[in-house]
Structure 1
Amino acid sequence: MKLLNLKISTNRLLLQPISLEYKEVIFREFTEKITTYMHPRSPKDIHETELFISESLLNMQNRNDLVVVILAKDSQEFLGCSGIHKLNNKRPELGIWLKKSAQGNGYGLETITALKEWAESNLDYEYLIYPVDRANIPSRRIPERLGGQIYREYEQTNLSGKILHLVEYRIFEKVFKHEKGTSKTS
């Protein structure tokens, strides 16, 4: 499957590959406030956003990462970005950010659930990693709702120079055994 043509649909959302079509809204919405608990910093100019999108597309073409924009299914309103990084690793990493006005509506859980289901059908992995700052309680609820378990805690300095106190969750595949072998459920 070509990642650049992928579309994932949920009850309320459409996840589709990031593209330069969204550079202005990403630049506008990926603010310092949004990146408070994230490794990246907000872009200083739109060229940084363009570079991020170009690198994301190249990584998708090489099947290293899946980076999607999150759109409201009914209106096509841009809500944020998400992805799975290190697709060829046994421990791919999930990430997400939502614009301020989209937060608190359950879009994060809906997005990460859809990406987890996609991973279960398309990747060979041991578990998904979901790192999140200890203080980011709304974001911590996402892996917890998906059965994620805390593996470790560590500190990391983000690109804005702030020390993050990260909690790394492991989210395992849902696998059960049948008489005829192993099957996956979603």
Structure 2
Amino acid sequence: MIKATSNDKPLVVEILSKAFDTNNSVNYTVKQDEKRKERIKKLMEYSFDVCYLFGTIYLSNDKIACALTLLPESKKTTLKTIALDAQLAIKVIGLDRVKRVLSRESKIHSGYPKEQPVFYLWFLGVDPAHQGKGIGKSLLNEIIAESKQKKRPLYLETSMPDNVPFYLKRGFEVYNQLNFGHTLYCMRTTS
């Protein structure tokens, strides 16, 4: 795997926008209207920018898969992050839905350990034309190795029930399930 640079942003946004088009959690966050696909793209641009500031963005060596990781405790409030959050609220979520999305994030983060920093996997996506070939599995294995090197448990959420066995086979456990009109499986590595 390779670390993405700012020049890779269009590629990463494209991969994630395609891979998460039908994702329950993404579509819960994104205002559902005629601009839904554009809003998903804006969500992925926001996620890239936040992870570029406070985490690491990885690409598979062939650049058809990517992972956005975050070190949550390093996230700081700056003028730039305030501007990013405001754009997210206006262009992606919709002002009338911000409270709902913030409440969701609070419920998710309440399950994180207070005494130990975590390594957070925000998005793992493979270009849909190349899914099912082991590319995502390989990238996830490298992310798991990175979390072990950092001596941090790896946390993630998935709203897609079909993804749960994929993560369970790689040493994750479901530590919580939240209902937002769909089940959100909160997962973490066990070792």
Q: 2:154 aligns with which of 125, 128, 152?
A: 128
Structure-2 change in CA distance of 1:92 and 1:150 (3 Å): same
Q: Is the 8 A contact 2:15 2:64 kept in 1?
A: no
* Aligned residue runs from structure 1 range 15-164, under 5 A: 15-23=2-10, 25-31=11-17, 34-37=20-23, 38-39=25-26, 44=38, 48=42, 52-59=47-54, 65-72=55-62, 78-86=63-71, 88=73, 90-94=117-121, 95-121=123-149, 123-125=150-152, 127-135=153-161, 137=162, 139-156=163-180, 163-164=181-182
Q: Aligned with 2:118: secondary structure?
A: coil
* Displacement after TM superposition at 1:22 (Å): 4.4
Distance 1:150 1:30, change over 3 A: closer
The unaligned stretches of length 5 or more in structure 1 are: 1-13, 60-64, 73-77, 157-162, 174-186
* Letter paired with 2:3: Q
**1:50-99 Cα shifts (integer Å, max 9, x gaps):** 5554443222xxxxx12212232xxxxx3132032226562322230111
Normalized against structure 2, the TM-score is what?
0.58
SS at match of 1:71: coil
1:172 is aligned to 190
**Matched residues in 2 for 1:129 and 1:118: separation?**
13
Is the contact between residue 80 and residue 98 of structure 1 (CA under 8 Å) also seen in structure 2? yes
SS in 1 for 2:117: coil
CA distance in 1 between partners of 2:16 and 2:160 (Å): 21
The change in CA–CA distance for 1:152 and 1:50 in structure 2 (over 3 A counts) is closer
> Please, what is the CA RMSD of the aligned residues?
3.0
Q: Identify unmatched segments of 5+ residues in structure 2.
A: 31-35, 74-115
Identical counterparts, % of pairs = 11
Q: Is 2:18–2:128's contact at 8 Å kept on the other side of the alignment?
A: no
TM-score by length of 1: 0.60
1:20/1:131 CA distance change after superposition, 3 Å: same
Aligned residues: 139
Which structure has the highest strand share of the two? 1
Partner SS, residue 150 of structure 1: strand
